Amino acid sequence: MTPRPKLAAATLAAAAVLFTAGCGDDDKSASTSSPATAPASAVADATPSTSGSADEAVAKATGFDPSAIYKREGPGVVTVISAGLKAAAASGDDDSAGLGSGFVISSDGEIATNAHVVTSGEGDKITEAKRVYVKFSDGNEVEAKVVGFDPFADVALLKIAPTGLDLRPLPFGSVKNLKVGAPVAAIGSPFGEEQSLSVGVISATERSIQSLTGFSTTGAIQTDAAINHGNSGGPLLDANGDVLGINSQIRTESGDGTGVGFAVPVDVVKRSIDQLRKDGQVRYAYLGVSSRALYPQVAERFDLPVDKGVWVQELPKSGGPAKEAGITAGTREVTFQELPWTVGGDIIVGVDDTPIEDDADLAQALLPFEPGTTVTLKIYRDGKQQDVEVKLGERPLAVPPAG
């Protein structure tokens, strides 16, 4: 059985002031990933060496200088301490605490972090921490206000009073031309070890990871840089020191650093931050389908008219935009290549002018639209292509049951 995903925030033991290896609730995220857990030996000391000739040679040859990145961007990375997390303790403790990371994004005192660092629970049971504090590398520790959080992307925006603080905003980068193998650095507070640096490479792009709601976050970055409990909310940086994403999860079987880490991509982060600044919340368009991506062998087995697209498998029992527009789901389950397929539903191949080849394409195509917008789905039904207009709804906090 594939392990459930865990999140990379640490739980703060109230009495002993010790950091546990969990996130307060090991099952906070219902996906196949796990909170970032890597061995402590994989995390660099908070004062990395800058004098080794070998390190200098590598930096000169590749243009990637972790020591320089750490020196320049490290002061902008903070430790985030949350208190009053009602659902964080299995014992029912209403005042447990958690610890994660974050980073400064503006001179006005804005801090970006993960939503799960400053909340507890999932779906419509998510609750916000009663108190949040931000600790800087120079020893300053101040109270922060949660401006808002986006549970779908696992992003939160905090605000502190900047008076008397020397703030170092980290610049946002881009994932547009991101390549597998590109070097990256992660800075954060794994296991409470503040200002720790780890390095690695981009292991993969365009991954899907579970959010706090059961819906997937698409476009996630996979990395082998060590991302442990407490790294949640910290930045994943490119060779220029620009933010590529927010470190969030690790997928592991053993609970240690043999897993792989995942970061919420910066384009998703920027979208969330912009809306949180404006409204304190983020709204997503909702179609209301459960689908599976096609591939040539499936198309051949079931005599389908296309071998790319998403095959509608189920619709919510309670209805939804797609169901109201007449989109149909499959009615008969057949096992093929050890997987269950529900046969007979519509195949979605486009949203307006955007072609759809898999589930990630469908999720990405819907992102620019506001709830209430009408879009045209290009579908195949009974072997024939047709267009169906759908008025998009607003994504709920939990995935509705199918039926």
Catalytic residue IDs: 116, 154, 232
Cβ neighbours of 138 (radius 10 Å): 8
Q: Which amino acid is at 101?
A: S
3-class SS of residue 363: helix
Q: Which two tokens stand for residue 60?
A: 């000169």
* CB of 288 closer than 8 Å to CB of 396: no
Using DSSP, state whether 266 is helix, strand or coil.
helix
- Strand, helix or coil for residue 67: helix
Structural contact between residues 246 and 7, judged by C-beta atoms closer than 8 angstroms: no
Tally of CA atoms within 13 A in the half-sphere of 305 that contains its CB: 14
DSSP class per residue in 103-120: EE--TT-EEEE-GGGSEE
| Per-residue H/E/C for 4-41 | CCEECCEEECCCCCCECCCCCCCCCCCCCCECCCCCHH
Looking at the DSSP bridge assignments, the partners of residue 197 are 44, 187
Beta bridge partners of 144: 132
Nearest to residue 111, comparing CAs of 149, 138, 139?
149
Phi then psi for residue 101, to 5 deg, are -125, 175
Least Cα distance to 236 among 221, 255, 251 occurs for 221
Q: How far apart are CA 82 and CA 100, in angstroms?
A: 8
Computed on alpha carbons and rounded to an integer, the radius of gyration of the chain in Å comes to 22
Cα dihedral across residues 275, 180, 213, 401: positive or negative: positive
